[in-house]
Amino acid sequence: MFRYQRTLHNAIEFDGIGLHTGYPVHLQLTPAPENTGIVFRRTDLKNFEIEATRAHVARVSYATTLMKKGVMISTVEHLLSTLYGFGIDNLFLDINSMEVPIMDGSGKGFMDGIENCGIRKQNALREYLLIQEPIEVRHGDKVAGVYPASLPTATYIIDFEHGAIGRQQIDMELTPECYRNEIGTARTFGFVSDVEYLKKCGLIRGGSLENAIVLDDSGIVNRELRFPDEFVRHKLLDLLGDISLIGHPIIGHLYAEKAGHAIHAALADRIARGIRKQRVCTLPEFESALAVPKAG
């Protein structure tokens, strides 16, 4: 965990295409002052700003979309997850189109760029959200929750009938190193049987074997996986992107089972609405609360 807020040393640029729109897009990550948060700026719309917060979440089917005054930014979750995973608090995300580039379907391109550029410590203290009361959202057999814990940790469980996936579980401490090595490079995935329907809905126009793991009835079309359980790792990547919209790094245990963007967003919403039941504190405050034994 980091005591001080963080941004980048310099600006970094990325070119790619949107997964759903198929449009070419240019993205620049620009360092921002303390207490700015993560803010998208649409460079094609006079730098119109959309703060990456819960208040602007508009749609959560197949991807997470932000909208403010009718201006959208879609498929934000992998980029926001990378920033959350690396502990970056303040950044302008300058983008000339409505969808974040999909890169290779994971956070790898963003992580490589950020590591080459370097992360800069700022002067203001980070404010963590310390979970003091459990919060749980259930939709049928789908669950997402957060529980008190002394470190940021997470568990994700998926169970797909597809033979190449099955039941997978990951349990992690959430540090930038673990994120880098275990989560950030896990790619998104989809099923050939859904392709026709999604295309009819105007989705995945930029989708290909270059930016997703594709499964058909017989197995994995791409053949090579980055991890045997890459699927559940990617689901955790998505969860962290959606949870990042709360605006504070969480000290607690995140848990999700058979979940997706909609229930991730519902959990983020519940946490944000009940924020007074939890505790917002700096790391020195958290450490001194741990160190001082209660009187008596």
- Closest to Zn ion by CB, 21 vs 122, is 21
Closer CB to Zn ion, residue 182 or residue 238? 238
DSSP letters spanning 179-211: IIIIITTPPPEEEHHHHHHHHHTT--TT--TTS
In the complex, least distance from residue 26 CB atom to Zn ion, rounded to whole angstroms: 21
> Distance between CA 206 and CA 215 in Å, rounded?
17
Residue 241 has which token pair? 């992107």
User: Catalytic pick from 56, 78, 234, 261?
Assistant: 261
Closest CA to 188 of 262, 105, 108: 105
Output 89 or 238, the one with its CB closest to Zn ion.
Answer: 238
Torsion sign (Cα): 180, 109, 155, 247: positive
Binding pattern to Zn ion, positions 159-188, x when CB under 5 A?
A: -----------------------------x
Is 64 an interacting residue with respect to Zn ion (CB under 5 A)?
no
CB of 109 to Zn ion, least distance (A): 14
Which residues in the 23-42 window bind Zn ion by CB under 5 A?
none
Ranges within 183-202 binding Zn ion (CB under 5 A): 188
Does 90 engage in binding with Zn ion (CB under 5 A)? no
Chain Cα centroid distance, residue 60: 13
User: Which CB sits closer to Zn ion, 122 or 188?
Assistant: 188
CB of 84 to Zn ion, least distance (A): 13
Residues comprising the chain, all counted: 296
Name the E strands within 60-195: 65-68, 71-73, 91-95, 119-125, 128-130, 135-139, 142-147, 153-159, 167-173, 189-191
Residue 261 annotated in active site: yes
How is the chain split among helix, strand and coil, in percent rounded to 5?
30, 35, 35
238 binds Zn ion (CB under 5 A): yes
> Looking at 89-97, 175-183, 205-213, 235-243, which segment touches Zn ion (CB under 5 A)?
235-243
> Cβ of residue 108: shortest distance to Zn ion, in angstroms?
13
In the complex, the smallest distance separating the C-beta of residue 237 from Zn ion, rounded to whole angstroms, is: 6
Considering beta carbons, is residue 1 or 195 the nearer one to Zn ion? 195
- Give residues in contact with Zn ion (CB under 5 A): 188, 238
Annotated catalytic residues are: 261
